């Protein structure tokens, strides 16, 4: 592994105008990281990666490198690009094991983060570095959001996220409140009441987009976001049809194969796949088949009715009448994107949204309500992980500037109340015995 990494590092031309850095949404200083590694300064290279991108161990594995850093590498014009993903993964995973620094000096302020996905984790880590007391609220039982519940383990192992929970949250004093849906028992108003000076909304898109066709409620049908969260819970049989050809659809298809499916096909409206070439090539390698230029007309117990697709004058793709055909299958996975939940907004006054349910924000993440910020999927819709990190870094700085304008909160309303002494439970049990 190390030899291969150094071979890739030695291929870097150290361009004065690094196109790779320009192609990275978070502008990782790739030439400098590689230079430090070649000089034997791995820890310095690792520190630089984490300072720029708190989720560097994740991005090294799941970024769309072919269209970003590696896709812009000048060597890729006539040869293979420098595979920085391999270099970044090696440096970040090695350096992460040495990250044992505790919390920063407290600044007396606290902020709430709603959602433990890429955006929420980024904001929480950056603000914690500045001394804020951070609590992350999430409706799931573990951190990661779409990273854990929407990306298969064979692409992003849970161990990477578990290590992040330890290195970045536990060691830094960031509190995590799991299984807590903000907008139900606890609202944003409650957070401000309890002393949080700022609230970041980074909730993911967990509401599946529907096809709105007959048969969508049948027992052999599920949605991609639900399937990827716990594929072992579904019994879809050996012949699976995935409706959609984005990266999420590729994840579903490849996951289905790993859970016993023998025949997997993906249906596409056009003749062009929306998934990255990297993801679709792996799907094809693993035996996934593709059906092009088809509209889904109806889902049945024994299969899916598809028809040829055509584009109308208004630009909409519609089925061609008379071309319907039944494609037999035992299970169907609908993978045509997700939308935003609405409870959080409907239980909070003063937060504007667009028609799709996404929060209305400015370039620094300010919502229409003072003190409430947003980024990631909650504000921009489904984007890549590294884009969420890049946007959230900017929003974290805006939150910091906002909270610095506020007076320090009063620590307690009852400074002189007596404190009850607690009895050790084991000692109490001995007294009973």
pTM of the model: 0.91
Phi/psi class of residue 27: alpha, beta or left (left: φ > 0; alpha: ψ in -120 to 50)?
A: left
Nearest Cα to 273, choosing from 250, 257, 251, 256? 250
Structure tokens that stand for 415 in this block:
């400074």
**Are 86 and 4 in contact, with CB atoms under 8 Å apart?**
yes
Nearest Cα to 247, choosing from 266, 274, 224, 216? 274
Architecture of the domain whose range is 110-205+340-404: 3-Layer(bba) Sandwich (3.50)
Nearest Cα to 408, choosing from 8, 108, 12, 178? 108
Nearest Cα to 44, choosing from 86, 97, 91, 93? 91
Q: Cα–Cα distance between 398 and 105 in angstroms, integer?
A: 20
Can you identify the CATH homologous superfamily of domain 2-96? Alpha-helical ferredoxin (1.10.1060.10)
pLDDT tens digit at each of 433 positions of the chain: 566 999 999 999 999 999 999 999 999 999 999 999 999 999 999 999 999 999 999 999 999 999 999 999 999 999 999 999 999 999 999 999 888 788 899 999 999 999 999 999 999 999 999 999 999 999 999 999 999 999 999 999 999 999 999 988 888 899 999 999 998 889 999 999 999 999 999 887 777 889 999 999 999 999 999 999 999 999 999 999 999 999 999 999 999 999 999 999 999 999 999 998 889 999 999 999 999 999 999 999 999 999 999 988 788 899 999 999 999 999 999 999 877 665 676 777 788 887 667 788 898 999 999 999 998 777 776 678 999 999 999 999 999 999 999 999 876 666 677 877 777 766 666 565 5
- Asked if domains 2-96 and 210-336 share a fold, the reply is no
DSSP reduced 3-state for 421: coil
Strands, E, within 27-132: which ranges?
Answer: 110-114
Q: Cα–Cα distance between 280 and 196 in angstroms, integer?
A: 44
**Are 219 and 332 in contact, with CB atoms under 8 Å apart?**
no
Q: Taking the domains of the chain in order of start, what are their residue ranges? A: 2-96, 110-205+340-404, 210-336
92: Cβ contacts below 8 Å, ≥ 6 apart: 46, 49, 50, 56, 57, 60
- What CATH number belongs to 210-336? 3.50.50.60
């Amino acid at each position: 592994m190390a030899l291969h990494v150094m071979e890739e590092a030695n291929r870097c031309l150290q361009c004065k105008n690094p196109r790779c850095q320009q192609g990275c949404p978070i502008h990782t200083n790739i030439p400098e990281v590689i230079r430090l590694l070649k000089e034997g300064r791995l820890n310095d290279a690792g520190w630089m990666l984490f300072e720029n991108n708190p989720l560097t161990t994740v991005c090294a594995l799941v970024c769309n490198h072919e269209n970003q850093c590696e896709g812009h590498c000048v060597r890729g014009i006539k040869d293979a690009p420098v595979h920085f993903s391999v270099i970044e993964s090696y440096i970040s995973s090695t350096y992460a094991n040495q990250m044992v620094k505790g919390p920063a000096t407290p600044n007396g302020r606290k902020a709430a983060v709603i959602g433990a996905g890429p955006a929420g984790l980024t904001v929480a880590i950056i603000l914690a570095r500045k001394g804020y007391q951070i609590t992350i609220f999430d409706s799931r039982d573990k951190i990661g959001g779409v990273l854990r519940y929407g990306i298969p383990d064979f692409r992003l192992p849970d161990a990477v996220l578990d290590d992040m929970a330890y290195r970045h949250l536990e060691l830094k004093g960031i509190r995590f409140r799991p299984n807590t849906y903000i907008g139900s028992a606890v609202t944003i108003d409650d957070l401000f009441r309890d002393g949080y000076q700022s609230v970041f909304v980074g909730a993911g898109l967990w509401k599946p987009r529907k096809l709105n066709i007959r048969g969508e409620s049948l027992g052999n049908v599920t949605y991609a976001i639900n399937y990827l969260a716990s594929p072992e819970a579904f019994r879809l049989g050996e012949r699976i049809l995935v409706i959609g050809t984005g990266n999420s659809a590729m994840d579903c298809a490849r996951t289905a194969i790993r859970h016993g499916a023998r025949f997997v096909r993906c249906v596409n409206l056009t003749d062009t796949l929306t998934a990255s070439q990297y993801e679709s090539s792996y799907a094809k390698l693993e035996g996934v088949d593709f059906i092009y230029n088809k509209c889904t007309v109806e889902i049945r117990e024994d299969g899916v009715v598809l028809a040829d697709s055509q584009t109308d004058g208004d630009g909409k793709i519609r089925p061609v009448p008379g071309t319907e055909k039944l494609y037999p299958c035992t299970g169907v996975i609908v993978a045509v994107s997700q939308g935003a939940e609405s409870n959080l907004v409907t239980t909070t006054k003063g937060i504007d949204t667009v028609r799709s349910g996404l929060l209305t924000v400015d370039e620094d993440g300010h919502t229409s309500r003072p003190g409430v910020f947003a980024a990631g999927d909650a504000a921009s819709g489904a984007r890549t992980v590294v884009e969420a990190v890049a946007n959230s870094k900017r929003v974290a700085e805006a939150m910091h500037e906002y909270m610095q304008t506020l007076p320090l909160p009063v620590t307690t309303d009852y400074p002189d109340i007596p404190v009850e002494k607690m009895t050790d439970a084991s000692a109490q049990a001995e007294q009973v015995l």
